[in-house]
Structure 1
Amino acid sequence: MAFSDSLGTARTVELPQGVVGYRECGDGPPVVFVHGLLVNADLWRAVVPKVAEAGYRCLAPDWPLGSHERAMGAGADLSPPGLAGLIEDFLAELELSHVTLVANDTGGALVQMLMARGSERVGRVVLASCDALERFFPPLFRPLSVLARMPGSAWLLAQVLRSRAVRGLPIAYGWLSHRPVPAAVMDSYLLPARRSAGVRRDLRRFLRGVHRRHTLEAAAAFSAYDRPVLLAWGEDDRLFPLSLAHRLAALLPDARVSVVAGSRTFVPEDRPEELGDLIVEFAHSTVSGGGR
C-alpha cells in the first residue's frame, strides 16, 4: 500500500474483484482520488492534506494498475471498462454519495467511462491532464498494449524499470513531470510488480484491454453529462496537449479549463498546492449535497 503518512489511515475494502487498499483522512464531503498506470496513491501525497484541511474526507486508493500490493481475483475484469466498474463498486461499498472524483493520467480515462455510465454517486469531476478521446494511450505508450499480449512482458517491464536511465526516458516517466519523483515514492510505484506475479498478471490484463475506442465511446455520451467538470491541465504537458482539454470541455455541458503553469502530466507532482486549491475551490463552488 502507498507509504506516505500524509495520506492518512491505511484501510482496506473487499470488492467483488478483490481487496483494495486505500488511505483516508479528513471529515466532510467525500473526495476520491484516481491515479494512473504504474503509480499508486502516493501520487496524491502533497494534494490530499490541503484538501482534507479544507473540510473534505479524502480517500486515496491503490487501484490495480501495476503499483498495487494486493493482486485482484483471478476472474476479475481488469479491462478499462471493468476498472471503471471497480471504481463504482468502491463508491457503493463505502456508501459514498455526491463524490468529487479527482483523476490524473490513465485514471482520467477510467473516470470518463464512469461518467458515461451516469453514476448517481458522482457529484463532480476533476480531470488533471489525462488520457481522452483518441489518446488512450498517447502515441508513445501505445506499444505497451501490444507487448502485453506476450507472455512474460510484465516481468520484463518491471525489470527494465529498475534502471534510472530507462525511467528518465520519454517512453517511461521522463515526460510526466518537471520535478524528479523522490526515490522512496518511485520504489512504492515499481516494487510491487517486481515482487508479485499476481500484480504483474493484473497489469497485463489491464494493458491488453487499452484501446481508444473506450474513451471515444465515453466521449460520445458526454452531451448528456450534466454534472460539473474541471479540467486542470498542465501547461507543459507533452503527452496530452492543452488542445485536448479544450476539446473535452467543448463536449461537456458544464466544464471549464484551468491551465496549470509549470506542470506536465503529473500535475500532483509538479504543482500539488495549486491542484489542491483548484479542487477545493471547485468543490466549494459546485456544492450539490453532502456525502456520507
Structure 2
Amino acid sequence: MSETRYTHDEWSSEQSDATVTVDGHELSVAFWDSADEGEADTANDDPPVVFLHGIPTWSFLWRDVAPAVAEATDRRVIVPDLLGYGNSAMHDGFDRSVRAQELMLRDLLEELEIDEFALVAHDIGGGAAVRYAAHRPDEVTDLVMANAVCYDSWPVDFITNLGLPEVADRDHGAVIGQVEGAFSQGVYAEEADDAFVEGMVAPWDSEEGQTSLSRNAVATNTNHTTEIDYGDISADLLCLWGADDTFQPLEYGERLAEEVGGEVIELDAYHWVVEDRPERFAEEVSQFVSK
C-alpha cells in the first residue's frame, strides 16, 4: 500500500466540488476523485469504486484506503463527503438522513456520468449503500459493508445524544472533546494517530460545524434501513467487519450476508476498522472488486 498519510488539509485541497439537487435544495458536495490525482487509469472500463463514510467522520476516513485501491485496481475511485459533513454543505435547511444521502449519491454520479460502480461503505454510509443497492440493483456491481448500519442496528446512544437540541448550543470545547475522545480512545492500537484524530475533529471545530453535527445526529432514522427489501440487493456482497465493534456488532454483518448472500471476513478491529486495519482493508477490497 502506498504511504499516503494525508493531513486533513492536504486531503481537502485535493477535493473537487459538485452541486446536487436533493428534495429541491441545491447543495454543494465535496469529493475526492482519483481521476484528478493520477491514481488510476482513467481509460479503464471497469466500474469505478465509490466509498461512503459515516458519522461523525467524513471522506478523510478513507485517506489511506481509497488511493491504495485506486492504485491496486487501476479503477477510478470516488470518495464524497456526505451532505452536512466534511467540506460539503453544512448550513441549516436540508435533510441529512441516509435517505437524502442516497439521493445525493445518485445526483452526484449522474453528474459524473457514472451508471455502474462498486460501493464500499462504513457506519451510516452503509445505510445509504443498502438503500441504493436495493433500489437500483442494476447499478451496484459489488457491495462492501464495513461495520455498517443495516436493519435496526442503529442509532447508538453516543450519536443520539449528539442530536439533542441543546448540543448545538453546548460549550464548544465540551462537544469537541467528546468527539475527539471517540476517535482517540476508539482505535485498536494503544495510541491513535494524531493526524487521524485531528482530521476527524476538524470539520466540527466551528459554530457551523457543531450545529451541523447535531443536525446530522438527529437525522439518524432507523426506519430508513428497516423499510427496504434486502432481497432486492443483487450486488456481490462482502461484509468486512471489525469483529470487536460494540456500536455495530458482527451479528448484523452475518445477518446481512445470510439474507443477501455473501461472505463475512472478520478483522481484529473496533468500529474504526478502516483506521485500525487500512492495509488489510485495502487489500480485501481490491481483491473483491477485481474478482
Question: TM class by shorter-chain length?
Answer: 0.7 to 0.9
SS in 2 for 1:143: helix
State the distance in 2 between where 1:142 and 1:241 align: 17
Unpaired runs of 5+ residues, structure 2, are 1-5, 35-39
Aligned residue in 2 for 1:43 = 61
| Higher RCO (CA < 8 A, seq sep 6+) | 1
1:21 to 30, 43, 56: 30
Supply the AA of the counterpart residue of 2:96. Answer: L
Aligned residue in 1 for 2:15 = 10
User: Judging changes above 3 Å, is the alpha-carbon distance between structure 1 residues 154 and 64 closer, same or farther for their aligned structure 2 residues?
Assistant: farther
Could you list the per-position Cα deviations for residues 190-214 of structure 1 after superposition, in whole angstroms to 9, with x for gaps in the alignment? 23222252x4444333322222222
State the distance in 2 between where 1:153 and 1:140 align: 12
Q: Which runs of 4+ in 1 moved over 6 A?
A: none
SS in 2 for 1:51: helix
Aligned residue in 1 for 2:196 = 185
> Do the aligned partners of 1:8 and 1:23 also contact (CA within 8 Å) in 2?
no
TM-score by length of 2: 0.82
The alignment status of 1:246 with 2:264, answered yes or no, reads no
> Do the aligned partners of 1:18 and 1:71 also contact (CA within 8 Å) in 2?
yes
Give the length in aligned residue pairs. 271
Kindly report which structure 2 residues correspond to 1:142-153, keeping only aligned pairs within 5 A, or say none: 142-145=160-163, 147=164, 150=165, 152-153=166-167
The alignment status of 1:62 with 2:76, answered yes or no, reads no
Unpaired runs of 5+ residues, structure 1, are 286-292
SS in 2 for 1:173: helix
Aligned residue in 2 for 1:259 = 266
> Do the aligned partners of 2:152 and 2:226 also contact (CA within 8 Å) in 1?
yes
Aligned residue in 1 for 2:3 = none
Supply the AA of the counterpart residue of 1:102. Answer: V
Aligned residue in 2 for 1:229 = 237
> Do the aligned partners of 1:2 and 1:41 also contact (CA within 8 Å) in 2?
no
% identity of equivalent residues: 27
Supply the AA of the counterpart residue of 1:227. Answer: A
SS in 1 for 2:247: coil
Aligned residue in 2 for 1:163 = 177
Aligned residue in 2 for 1:93 = 111
Supply the AA of the counterpart residue of 2:18. Answer: V
SS in 2 for 1:163: helix
> Do the aligned partners of 1:175 and 1:239 also contact (CA within 8 Å) in 2?
no
State the distance in 2 between where 1:93 and 1:158 align: 37
TM-score by length of 1: 0.82
State the distance in 2 between where 1:138 and 1:72 align: 22
State the distance in 2 between where 1:162 and 1:115 align: 34
SS in 2 for 1:23: strand
Aligned residue in 1 for 2:183 = 173
Aligned residue in 2 for 1:288 = none
SS in 1 for 2:263: strand
State the distance in 1 between where 2:149 and 2:143 align: 15
Kindly report which structure 2 residues correspond to 1:267-278, keeping only aligned pairs within 5 A, or say none: 267-278=273-284
> Do the aligned partners of 1:234 and 1:265 also contact (CA within 8 Å) in 2?
yes
Cα RMSD after superposing both structures: 2.7
State the distance in 1 between where 2:277 and 2:237 align: 19
1:77 CA drift (Å): 2.6
State the distance in 1 between where 2:275 and 2:95 align: 30
User: Judging changes above 3 Å, is the alpha-carbon distance between structure 1 residues 157 and 36 closer, same or farther for their aligned structure 2 residues?
Assistant: farther
1:80 CA drift (Å): 2.4
The alignment status of 1:134 with 2:152, answered yes or no, reads yes
